[in-house]
Structure 1
């Protein structure tokens, strides 16, 4: 498991499973000859996308950013369509660290699309139950509202079985929420109406988790946004804002979906990588 220290705050990447999604959809209007130079693609035009939660240890608390794809949560058709090649091993990774799912205090849900939220619940017979039974689950109020009342487009990713069992654990916020000293969630919109980013600051270090506004290191160009984005111009605006602020401060950027990098630190131009945490690939 890869780790990164941000001041007094420790980050550890857990194995949340993997999907293989269409590369064109993940890079929107960007031509394949451009994006394929930065991110490998297979002969089915699919790219490998991790769904790996980040364990944060801060101020005596244990937090997760997002939850992975879970276990036994997909039909055969969904496994095929979403290219699910590996399910979650979050519980196993926590055990290696001497932790249990019940030890998690907070789960910071950047948004509630299936590939981020399925790991919050587990099947017990025909029913679903919380995985992180003692955790407060934080997400924006806009995201939580759409999760429960999806529109004709979003109902394909906001599933009833992913929210009913954990509704009593949800703590929604409006604009921003200070979770604990040094860790803040901020609503951005863009990828979804309720999408949020996570900002971590400790000592002289800063890390920005852009979630699906910048799902991989190859999305660092502010104009490279996903075809999955509901509000692409909002994504562009938020990337401009957070790249400007982060690059000026020498911030780290971390990733949930990247199969190659866990986090990177770019130079002030946002083009050259100055420091990196690479994923250990089997």
Structure 2
């Protein structure tokens, strides 16, 4: 499991499963000859997208960023449509670290689309229950509202199976929230109306988790936004704000979906100057 140390804060990438989604949808109006140079596709024009939560450990707290694709949550048809070739092995990853799902104190949800939220619940016999019964689950108020009352577009990704069993655990916030010492969530909108990013700072070091505003390293260009984005111009404006801010701070950019990098740093010219590669063996 790949790790990154930010001051006194340790980040560890867990195995949350994988999807393969249409590259055209992931890069919106960007022509394939451009995006495919930065992120390859398979014969079906799909690109590999991990769904790997990040375990963040600080001051004795175990915090998850996102929850993975889950296990046993998708039908065969859904797995085929979403290109799921590997379901979550999150419990095994935690066990390898001497932890269990009961040890998770907080879960930070940048948003609650199915590929981020399926891991929040699991089947226990014939009913769905919380996969992390002791955890506080934090997301923006706007995200939580739309999760429970999706519109005609978003109902395809906001599923009751992923929120009804954990409703009592959810702590929504407005604008921004410090969730632990040095860890803050900030509502941005863009990819979804309630989308948030996460800022992590310790001992003068910084990481930024931009969720699906920066799904992969290939989305570095502020104009390269997904067809999946509900508010693409908001995504552009937020990328214009946060990417230069993080570069100036020499921050690490961390990823949930990227199949090649767990984290990286860019210089002001957009060159990668440090990186944590994903072990693809």
TM-score by length of 1: 0.99
Cα distance in structure 2, aligned partners of 1:195 and 1:40? 27
Q: Map 1:1-282 to 2 at 5 A.
A: 1-269=1-269, 271-282=270-281
In structure 2, distance between residues paired with 1:60 and 1:22: 40
Give secondary structure in 1 for the equivalent of 2:37.
coil
Q: 1:126 deviation in Å?
A: 2.4
Structure 1 stretches of 4+ with a deviation exceeding 2 A read: none
Cα deviations across residues 247-281 of structure 1 (Å, max 9, x unaligned)? 11111100000000000001112x21000000000
CA offset digits 1:188-228 (Å, max 9, x no partner)? 00000000000001112110000000000000110000000
CA deviation profile, 1:43-90 (whole Å, cap 9, x unmatched): 100000000000000011000000000000011110111011000011
How many residues align? The count is: 281
Give the CA RMSD over aligned residues: 0.5
Whole-angstrom distance in 1 between the partners of 2:216 and 2:197: 14
Structure 1 gaps of 5+ residues are: none
* CA–CA distance in structure 2, aligned partners of residues 67 and 86 of structure 1: 15
Distance 2:18 2:180 in 1: 30
Aligned counterparts of 1:232 and 1:259: Cα–Cα separation in 2: 23
C-alpha distance after superposition, 1:114-153 (max 9, x if no partner): 0000001001122110111100000000000000000000
Conserved 8 A contact 1:260-1:278: yes
CA distance in 2, matches of 1:79, 1:96: 27
Q: Per-residue CA shift, 1:164-187, capped at 9, x if unaligned?
A: 000000000010000011000000
Q: Any stretches of 5+ residues in structure 2 without a counterpart?
A: none
d(CA) in 1 for partners of 2:168 and 2:249?
A: 38
Aligned-partner SS, 1:85: coil
Q: Does the 8 Å CA contact 1:250/1:268 hold for their aligned counterparts?
A: no
Q: 3-state SS of the aligned residue for 1:70?
A: coil
- Find the aligned partners of 1:23 and 1:127 in 2 and give their Cα distance: 35
TM-score normalised by length of structure 2: 0.99
> How far apart, in 2, do the equivalents of 1:214 and 1:59 lie?
28
SS of the equivalent of 1:36 reads: helix
